[in-house]
């Protein structure tokens, strides 16, 4: 890649929605840098996308929950002559179960990935976008970020953070030429698993559709993207329903 070449940086790009987001960006002609832990999957996906779409695709294997590993990313990209024009914070994890029965170390790891890594990468790359007067960030939140979800206390709290953080960024970034978009999907047909495995299959959306709507929203500078009519309803109900009403219903009807 030539010096200063612009690329879209996609985290969590080795599986699921990350693969779909990378594919949608490549289809639209974006050069890519893929980041995840699994080097073999990144290598294969990079070759596939480059061959199919004729774009430059590079990859970096790293653990984004490890601050020392994560903090080398800006220098690694600079050494490759890359500029991050779009930041796709997709890397994330989930846990399922009553919080007091779960290993706390795993819950802390979830916060490091879903929250800390997202903030750190925005802090690393948004200043450069603002200086250039162009760019965008897509933070993958969830429809769960609009509501307290039984047996997903840490996960839904992390997605509520992602949603509020992104909405606040849109205020901070106003007039800079840089945009921030929160993607808030419901169940998606991926390897994610967890509590959503108990939900009816008709509620699940295909990753390609979610990715397409996400990148459309990013290009349009939208604040939030909520794919699927049912998910839009759930988001409104989850955000605005009185908690005294919502929480007893959640306890009664949520899969256990």
Which two structure tokens, joined as six digits, stand for 51?
């061959």
**Which of 191 and 183 is assigned the larger pLDDT?**
183
**What is the average per-residue pLDDT within 126-137?**
98
Are 9 and 128 in contact by the 8 Å Cβ rule? The answer is no
Which two structure tokens, joined as six digits, stand for 104?
């706390």
Closest CA to 138 of 12, 235, 1: 12
Proportion of the chain above pLDDT 70, given as a percent: 92
- CATH 3.40.50.720 corresponds to the domain 5-253: yes
Give the predicted TM-score (pTM) of the model: 0.90
Task: Tell me phi and psi for residue 252, to 5 degrees.
Answer: -80, -40
pLDDT at 198: 54
What residue ranges do the domains of the chain occupy?
5-253
Q: Residues 94-108, buried b or exposed e (16+ Cβ, 10 A)?
A: bbbeeeeebeeeebe
Is 234's pLDDT higher than 70? yes
CB neighbours of 120 closer than 8 A, spacing ≥ 6?
67, 70, 71
Active site residues: 155
**What is the average per-residue pLDDT within 235-242?**
80
For 149-174, the pLDDT digits (tens) are 999 999 999 999 999 999 999 999 99
**Would strands 5-11 and 32-36 be described as parallel, antiparallel, or unpaired?**
parallel
Is 251's pLDDT higher than 80? no
Confidence band for 2, pLDDT divided at 50, 70 and 90: very low
**Rounded distance, CA 139 to CA 142, Å?**
10
For 200-231, the pLDDT digits (tens) are 565 678 999 999 999 999 999 999 999 887 77
pLDDT at 1: 34
Confidence band for 3, pLDDT divided at 50, 70 and 90: very low
Confidence band for 233, pLDDT divided at 50, 70 and 90: confident
**Rounded distance, CA 97 to CA 99, Å?**
6
pLDDT at 63: 96
**Rounded distance, CA 150 to CA 134, Å?**
40
**What is the average per-residue pLDDT within 131-141?**
98
Is 29's pLDDT higher than 60? yes
Confidence band for 256, pLDDT divided at 50, 70 and 90: low
């Amino acid at each position: 890649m030539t010096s200063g070449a612009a690329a879209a940086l996609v985290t969590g790009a080795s599986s699921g929605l990350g693969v779909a987001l990378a594919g949608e960006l490549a289809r639209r002609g974006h050069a890519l840098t893929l980041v995840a832990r699994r080097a073999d999957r990144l290598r294969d996906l990079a070759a596939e996308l480059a061959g199919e779409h004729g774009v430059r695709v590079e990859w970096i294997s790293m653990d984004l929950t490890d601050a020392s590993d994560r903090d080398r990313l800006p220098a690694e990209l600079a050494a490759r002559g890359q500029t991050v024009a779009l930041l796709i914070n997709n890397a994330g994890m989930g846990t399922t179960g009553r919080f007091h029965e779960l290993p706390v170390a795993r819950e802390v790891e979830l916060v490091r990935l879903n929250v800390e890594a997202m903030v750190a990468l925005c802090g690393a790359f948004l200043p450069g976008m603002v200086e250039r007067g162009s760019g965008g960030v897509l933070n993958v939140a969830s429809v769960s970020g609009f509501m307290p979800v039984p047996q997903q206390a840490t996960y839904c709290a992390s997605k509520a953070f992602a949603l509020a953080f992104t909405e606040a960024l849109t205020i901070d970034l106003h007039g800079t030429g840089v945009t921030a978009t929160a993607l808030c999907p419901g169940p998606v047909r991926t390897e994610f698993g967890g509590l959503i495995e108990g939900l009816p299959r008709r509620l699940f959306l295909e990753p390609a559709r979610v990715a397409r709507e996400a990148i459309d929203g990013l290009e349009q500078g939208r604040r939030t993207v909520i794919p699927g009519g049912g998910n839009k309803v759930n988001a409104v109900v989850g955000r605005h329903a009185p908690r005294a009403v919502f929480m007893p219903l959640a306890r009664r009807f949520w899969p256990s």
